[in-house]
Amino acid sequence: MSVLGLKMPALRLNGLLGALILGSVVLIAIFGPLLVSGDPMALDFAARLKGPMSGHPLGGDEFGRDVMLRLIHGARTSIWIAFFTTCFAVAGGLAIGILAGFLRGWVDRVLMMFNDALLAFPGLLLALGFMAVFGASRQGIIIALGLAYMPVVVRVVRGTVLSLREREFVEASRVMGNSELTTMFRHILPNCLAPVTVLATTMFGWVILAESALSFLGLGVPPPEPSWGNMLSTARPYAGQAPHLIFLPGLCISVTLLGVNMFGDAVRDWLDPKMQG
Amino acid sequence: MNAQPPLLSVRNLTVRPGRTLPPVVRDLSFDIAPGEMLALVGESGSGKTMAARSVLRLLPAPLMPVEGSSIRLKGSELLTLSDHEMCKVRGARIGMVFQEPMVSLNPAMQIGKQMAEALRLHHRLSDAEIRDRSLAMLERIRIKDPAKCLAAWPHEFSGGMRQRIMLASVMLLKPELLIADEPTTALDTLVQRDVLDLMVELTQEQGTGVLLISHDLGMVAKYAPSVVVMQSGIAVEQGRSAKVLTAPAHPYTKSLIDALPRRAEGGSRDTTARPALIEVQGVVIDYPGRERFLRRDPPKRAVHGVDLTIGSGETLALVGASGSGKTTIGRAIVGLVRPSAGAIRYQGHDLLQAGPETARLRARMQIVFQDPYSSLDPRQRIEKVVAEPLLLDKAMTAADRRDRVRAVFEEVGLPWALADRLPHQLSGGQRQRVAIARAIVRNPAFVVADEPVSALDMTVQKQILRLIRALQDKHGFACLFVSHDLGAVEQVADRVAVMENGLIVEMGTRDEIFDTPQHDYTRRLLDAAMLIDRSFGAVMA
């Protein structure tokens, strides 16, 4: 069975399209800077706030830096951050959520108390607080956003675990003589993956946007290094003179999100055993 | 009598999804006279529900009655009515009661409002009149304190009460025809009888015809004078129930009737005393109360001190209504629930003491759950499901395990070709076979079968009961058979224990319990059990 061996042709098409979009964005992020030579920081005042022109196919920004080069290099930053943040939040959330849901009792209570306290803050505000601790760097952003989004994953995972625990196949595993740990890894964890995947793909999108919001506040990827987010935010004062400076990074973010969501839906269906004929 | 036109007349009803696919109902014809009850009987997938839904014109999207079909209510054709006209027929002239009383009432609406909803839609009545009629109807169905009931929410009532309320609100409109789709399948035996008696009472009073949809031949025998037996969309046999069910002409009807559990099938039982395998002594089980803010509700006692002994190789049936604690005892024996007092012993060893010996003995005790849909991990291929218990035996190699799994597949009658299927790709009966295979794969000495057949179709029930019996004869494991289905119990049990409200009220050999019940509750259960040979007693014997 192929990876995208889904039952309904409409879904398969969506999944393929999503994979195609996401794949090309990732490829550009990895290999783009190697294939297209040029320095994204190089200034060319002749191209300042200009639209497409010879030498600068997508025009220049407020300092006359090449927009295409900056988008390609920015893809690397944005995808990198989104990917690792999501992985971090999902891994942490899975561990805490399963622990809390499966062990119940005081472990659950203490973990959930912290978790609910974190959930009470808006994600971005929380990230700002963490940024103050970890500093404005890629790693800092990843940790801060990861911690900020983790409580949502914890909630989803714990809820799923709580409902799974009551299912008879989990009880059957206990009667069989499996230890709690075996039951957890063999029967509970795999059944949590479907809802978490959906959440992860949505989160991928949130993170790209959150990173741009942080950049807007001056806490994101420090300039002059480009990311889609900080390109979008620094372009704001020039929206009237050079709309392409807002439009192009915005388009990149939207198209990537579209791809991520389509791909996520397909992965969800693929992970659902009921969809396999 | 014959000159009177029938209330409902269905002719050549054929329902198919689109033009090319095979019909789900084919050439179905029947009549219902006013005040008469007709039953559509068949297994799941036989088209009985779709046939009934066509009468209301509530078929799911691609399904359509084809041209040439006719459904007439008092002589007027329903299939040619506009959607708007049909809305006036639904509810007002044809009422419907659904299977699941837990979901067919809106949980966010008070009972009074739900009862009023349809009345307001179809009749111009003042609020006071609606209230009066609702009260009168609730009084009629013997609800205590009807005024309070109008202001109550659905969750405050038990399943049986909800089904009565549902019935009341449908009958309030005085429909000419009532469609009851498996109206009591989700209910306990005693409650089942109450609801059906009430339905018969109300419909006879108002001269309402009833189209009963059921898979329970015992119920049909008791309540419905005429019957249509359906198989894959075709009415294979129809006529008076007394005739069709006692002298079936069609092989399918015969197989359905053969599938009914009966004592003879179980054979005579060896009633000599056997060495005790499991001893349950003075067991008390509490469920922790609900957690409130800063405190807990007091625990709820499910089992109030139960003693029982299960001999090796013996089948003890535990019967009782839902909530009687029968399932809890089974779960306590295999270690899923911890008793708050009392002792559970396996060949004298105390199972409530943790330790390596207890863990070893636990592996000798297995359980088969009621619902084969939730007892299998949806992500595990069934070969893995059955092999999983073997992973705990460190001495076995992968090849050993595969051999053992193959052997067990054969024993429970599962084709090896299914080994790499996922649970949802199997039928209910096959899934239950997988669950049984998983339970016996390590040759247990004791198996708890918790309502193992109540989620299955009749003919499949019979196969599974036979399978359990055959496996028991072969391997000699003891079995605690937990069930509310007296028919099945009569067929499989050596001894029977009857439970009511967390206590065993009577225990004896199968023949003692079924032939000379002592306790009042046992008698009531037996009376309510719609065992077909009791309905037509002499004829079947």
* Burial class (CB within 10 angstroms; exposed 0-12, middle 13-18, buried 19+) of B101: buried
* Closest partner CB to A175 (pick from B366, B371, B425): B366
Q: Are B284 and B304 in contact (CB under 8 A)?
A: yes
Number of domains in chain B: 2
Mean pLDDT, to the nearest integer, of A103-115? 88
Shared-domain flag, residues B286 and B244: no
Counting as low any pLDDT under 70, the low residues of chain B are 1-4, 101-102, 265-271, 293, 530-541
**What token pair was written down for B228?**
């249509």
Shared-domain flag, residues B311 and B431: yes
Shared-domain flag, residues B245 and B290: no
Q: Is A171 on the interface with B (CB under 8 A)?
A: yes
Asked if residue B164 is part of any domain, the answer here is no
* Closest partner CB to A176 (pick from B378, B379, B389): B389
Is the pLDDT reported for residue A5 higher than 50? Answer: no
Asked if residue B148 is part of any domain, the answer here is no
Q: Could you say which residues from 426 to 465 on chain B have a Cβ atom under 8 Å away from some Cβ of chain A? A: 435, 438
Q: B392, A177: Cβ pair inside 8 Å?
A: yes
Shared-domain flag, residues B396 and B288: yes
Q: Could you say which residues from 70 to 99 on chain B have a Cβ atom under 8 Å away from some Cβ of chain A? A: none
Q: Are A214 and A229 in contact (CB under 8 A)?
A: yes
pTM of the model: 0.79
Q: Is B393 on the interface with A (CB under 8 A)?
A: no
Asked if residue B111 is part of any domain, the answer here is no
Chain B residues with beta carbon closer than 8 angstroms to that of A273: 378-379, 422-424
Q: What is the pLDDT of residue B62?
A: 79
Chain A residues with beta carbon closer than 8 angstroms to that of B435: 172
Query: What are A63-106's pLDDT values in tens digits?
Result: 778 888 888 888 888 888 899 999 999 999 999 999 898 888 88
Hey, what's the torsion of the CAs at B178, B179, B185, B190, to 10 degrees?
10
Shared-domain flag, residues B395 and B483: yes
Residue A163's CB is within 10 A of a number of other CB atoms, namely 11
Asked if residue B130 is part of any domain, the answer here is no
DSSP assignment string, B357-408: HHHHHHTTEEEE-S-TTTSS-TTS-HHHHHHGGGGG-TT--HHHHHHHHHHH
Query: What are A130-161's pLDDT values in tens digits?
Result: 888 887 788 888 999 999 999 999 999 999 99
Q: Determine the Cα–Cα distance for residues B386 and B380; give it in Å rounded to an integer.
A: 10
* Closest partner CB to A177 (pick from B359, B369, B435): B359
**Minimum distance, in Å, between the CA of residue B231 and any CA atom of chain A:** 26
Asked if residue B97 is part of any domain, the answer here is yes
**Minimum distance, in Å, between the CA of residue B424 and any CA atom of chain A:** 6
The amino acid that residue A123 corresponds to is G
Please state, in angstroms and as integers, the Cα–Cα distance from residue B425 to each residue in A17, A189, A207, B379, B414, following that order. 29, 22, 38, 11, 13
Q: What is the pLDDT of residue B373?
A: 81
Asked if residue B121 is part of any domain, the answer here is no
B299: DSSP letter: P
* Closest partner CB to B377 (pick from A169, A276, A277): A169
* Closest partner CB to A168 (pick from B374, B424, B425): B374
Shared-domain flag, residues B403 and B510: yes
* Closest partner CB to B422 (pick from A167, A176, A276): A276
Shared-domain flag, residues B485 and B460: yes
Q: Which of A164, A176, A271 to mutate to test the interface with B (most CBs of B within 10 A)?
A: A176
Final residue in a domain of this structure, among B259, B287, B309: B259
Q: B392, A190: Cβ pair inside 8 Å?
A: no
Hey, what's the torsion of the CAs at B449, B454, B457, B463, to 10 degrees?
20
Q: A187, B363: Cβ pair inside 8 Å?
A: no
* Closest partner CB to B369 (pick from A172, A190, A191): A172
**What token pair was written down for B443?**
């040759």
Q: What is the pLDDT of residue A1?
A: 36
Q: A168, B389: Cβ pair inside 8 Å?
A: no
* Closest partner CB to B376 (pick from A169, A186, A274): A169
Shared-domain flag, residues B48 and B15: yes
Shared-domain flag, residues B402 and B313: yes
**Minimum distance, in Å, between the CA of residue A273 and any CA atom of chain B:** 6
Q: Is A105 on the interface with B (CB under 8 A)?
A: no
Asked if residue B444 is part of any domain, the answer here is yes
Q: Determine the Cα–Cα distance for residues B535 and B39; give it in Å rounded to an integer.
A: 16
Q: B388, A176: Cβ pair inside 8 Å?
A: yes
Please state, in angstroms and as integers, the Cα–Cα distance from residue B355 to each residue in B176, B277, B279, B537, following that order. 66, 19, 19, 54
Which residue does chain A place closest to B337, by CA atoms? A171
> Rg for chain B (alpha carbons), in Å?
26
Q: B375, A168: Cβ pair inside 8 Å?
A: yes
Q: What is the pLDDT of residue B532?
A: 63
Which residue does chain A place closest to B370, by CA atoms? A168
Mean pLDDT, to the nearest integer, of A261-270? 81
Final residue in a domain of this structure, among B195, B228, B259: B259
Q: A172, B435: Cβ pair inside 8 Å?
A: yes
Chain A residues with beta carbon closer than 8 angstroms to that of B335: 174-175
Q: Determine the Cα–Cα distance for residues A175 and B169; give it in Å rounded to an integer.
A: 45
Asked if residue B165 is part of any domain, the answer here is no
Q: Determine the Cα–Cα distance for residues B370 and B449; give it in Å rounded to an integer.
A: 8
Q: Determine the Cα–Cα distance for residues A97 and A80; give it in Å rounded to an integer.
A: 25
Q: Determine the Cα–Cα distance for residues B507 and B489; give it in Å rounded to an integer.
A: 13
Q: A177, B389: Cβ pair inside 8 Å?
A: yes
Chain A residues with beta carbon closer than 8 angstroms to that of B379: 190-191, 273
ipTM of this complex? 0.73
Q: Is A179 on the interface with B (CB under 8 A)?
A: no
Mean pLDDT, to the nearest integer, of A41-48? 74
Shared-domain flag, residues B351 and B497: yes
Report the helix count and the strand count for chain A, using DSSP H and E.
10, 0
Residue among A72, A57, A62, A43 nearest A245 (CA)? A62
What is the length of chain B? Answer: 541
What's B377's domain CATH number?
A: 3.40.50.300
E strands within B34-171?
37-41, 63-65, 70-73, 76-77, 94-97
Shared-domain flag, residues B373 and B315: yes
Domain range for B13 is: 8-101+177-259
Domains of chain A: 52-275 (1.10.3720.10)
Q: Which of B379, B432, B454 to mutate to test the interface with A (most CBs of A within 10 A)?
A: B379
Shared-domain flag, residues B331 and B184: no
